[in-house]
């Protein structure tokens, strides 16, 4: 079953924990696996590369400039 991300989250480059778990990790991995790998990446590449968006998920530093465009 594919995990669907809200349109706003995809456009803004925010990846939810559930979305990452469903698309990147195997079915045997626990939800905490995402947090562990985010920690590893931050430790190796620097803390500023991944931003935690509280209540939404994670955002990559290079994607921070992408913002949803207003419709209408």
Instruction: Single out the residue of 2, 29, 3, 1 nearest to residue 16, CA to CA.
Output: 3
Res 43: pLDDT: 92
pLDDT in tens, the chain (72 residues): 344 444 444 546 788 888 888 888 776 778 788 899 999 989 998 888 888 988 888 988 765 555 555 565
What CATH code is assigned to 7-63? 1.10.10.10
Res 9: pLDDT: 47
Res 49: pLDDT: 87
Q: Spell out the domain ranges in the chain.
A: 7-63
Cβ distance 49 to 42 under 8 Å? yes
Instruction: For 1-63, give the DSSP string.
Output: -PPPPPHHHHHHTEE-HHHHHHHHS-TTS-THHHHHHHHHHHHHH-GGGEEEETTTEEEEGGG
Res 30: pLDDT: 80
Q: How far is CA 70 from the centre of its chain?
A: 22
């Amino acid at each position: 079953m594919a995990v669907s991300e809200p349109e706003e989250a995809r456009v803004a480059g925010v990846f939810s924990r559930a979305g990452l778990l469903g698309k990147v990790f195997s079915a045997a991995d626990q939800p905490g696996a995402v947090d562990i790998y985010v920690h590893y990446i931050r430790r190796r590449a620097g803390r500023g590369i991944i931003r935690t968006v509280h209540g939404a998920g994670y955002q990559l530093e290079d994607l921070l400039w992408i913002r949803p465009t207003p419709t209408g």
